[in-house]
Each structure stands twice: as structure tokens, then as C-alpha cells.
Amino acid sequence: MLTVLCERYSSLQNQYMELVSRNSGSDATAATSKKRKAECEDYVPMIGFSGKAESSFSDEDSCKKPKDCIKAKISRAYVRTNPSDNSLIVRDGYQWRKYGQKVTRDNPSPRAYFKCSFAPSCPVKKKVQRSAEDPSILVATYEGEHNHAQHSTPALSSLSPNSGTSNPRSAPVSSSSSAPTKSSPPTVTLELMKPTGLGNDTKNPTQQVDEPAIQKILVQQMAASLTRDPTFTAALAAAISGKVLDHKW
């Protein structure tokens, strides 16, 4: 089931990338041309899975005007959530304090403004808004870099804008039942490996598992531990139903 899930995830991601690349030439540039000075990023959206996402980074190659980008590193993360969930909470391992919310012109859903709880010593800010195209996707824009370590849910470290892409050799699935904040309900994180990480990446034979039996045992153990977690099954059902709906493009 996980393999099928990965394959469908890959194909859906490819379709989404195609759509984005098609639209980026016309709508995106027109829409961003009227934006203010701070919005100088180009984005390569990467949709995550089951409420979590891979971050996309635009620090070095996106800013055409260096003067606009000196003050803060800007990155953006796309997070898939349950569309019925109205909260603008993106759990990325850091603790945030909300200081404002605003309805913007180009998007009917409100935009929430967060500061790192370590402010003012940590200057990082975060903006979270639902995607206008797909309400199930939260767009989190990070400004600045944390000058401290994460202090909750290290399992979500791959969501951090400063941590980069998660290591494909790390555990592909992690569950987190401990809520870092009182307002965040317990969730299950499903960080699926990309297809290249499943052992069929011929470019990097040293990372392949030599013994299929070990792989099989690992998969069985992961599946057993996951199926024991009722929150995982609920989250998986929600993710699959969301993907099915997304497929009707």
C-alpha cells in the first residue's frame, strides 16, 4: 500500500509541477508584478503529503534585486492539510506567537502573521495563508533564520525552512502523538520517501539495501506499528481522499 501511495504521490506531484510550470509564465508573473518590494521570490512549489510538506527554497537564485534580499532570508513551504480544518497552524518544530491576521486582496482566506516565540532575540517571522487555488494547501512564508535550536517535535524537522530537504535515508514515516502546543491537536506525520529513495535509484548504488529480506522486515515492522496507531489510519484516509479529489483536474 505504501508503495502504491508513493507512486501515486509521484505522479500527482509531476502533474502539479506541469501545471505550475504552465501557469508560471503568465499568471504568476502578472500577479507578482504588482506585489510589494518584499515579494521578490520565485517559487518551485513542492506539495507535501498528509498535512506536511517539503519546503522549497528560493534564497540564492530567486532575488533579482540584491538590495531587497539583504535583510532577511525568505523561503516558502507548502503544507497540505485537511480543507475542513480552518486553523492556520503549520507545525514545523518551532514555537510561534501569532501577532496578526489580515484578509488580503488576492486571496479570500485570511493571512496569519507569526513571530518566533524567542523574539526579539530570534527575528524570524512567518506568514501562513491558504492557497487560493487549493484550500487544502497552506502556504507558509518564512522570513529570516532562527538563531536557536528547535524545541519541539523534531520529527517535523524536514519542514523547517533552514533544514533543507529531509534525508531520504531517514525514517520514511514518523508518527507524533505529542502536541507541542496546547492548541495543536495530536497529528500523525507521514513523510513519504520519494520514489528515488525506495531502492530503485541506480545512480547511487551504495545507498541500496543489499538484502531484500531486511527491507521486507522493516516494511512489515513499519506497517505494523502504523496500523496500531488509530490517528495514523485516520490521517491516511484523509490524505487519500484528498488526493482523490485533487486528481479531478
Contact criterion met (CB below 8 Å) for 196 and 90:
no
Among residues 88 and 173, whose Cβ is nearest to DNA?
A: 88
> Cβ 68 to DNA, closest distance in Å?
9
Q: Which residues bind DNA (CB under 7 A)?
A: 34, 36-39, 95-106, 111-113, 117, 125, 127, 181-183
Please state, in angstroms and rounded to a whole number, the distance separating the CA atoms of residues 88 and 92: 12
Q: Helix, strand, coil % (nearest 5) of the chain?
A: 35, 20, 50
| CB nearer DNA, residue 181 or residue 204 | 181
CB of 96 to DNA, least distance (A): 7
For DNA, which is the closer residue by CB, 181 or 241? 181
Provide the strand spans (E) within 149-238.
174-176, 187-189
Q: What is the nearest approach in angstroms of DNA to the Cβ of residue 98? A: 4
Are 157 and 77 within 8 A, CB to CB?
A: no
> Which C-beta is closer to DNA: that of 6 or that of 74?
74
Decide whether 135 or 195 has the Cβ nearer to DNA. 135
The least CB distance from residue 181 to DNA, in Å, is 6
How far apart CA 13 and CA 18 sit, in angstroms, is 9
Q: In what order do the strands lie in the sheet with 137-143?
A: 55-57, 74-80, 137-143, 125-130, 110-116, 96-103
Kindly state the DSSP code that residue 138 receives in the 8-state scheme.
Answer: E
CB of 86 to DNA, least distance (A): 9
CA distance 225 to 179: 19
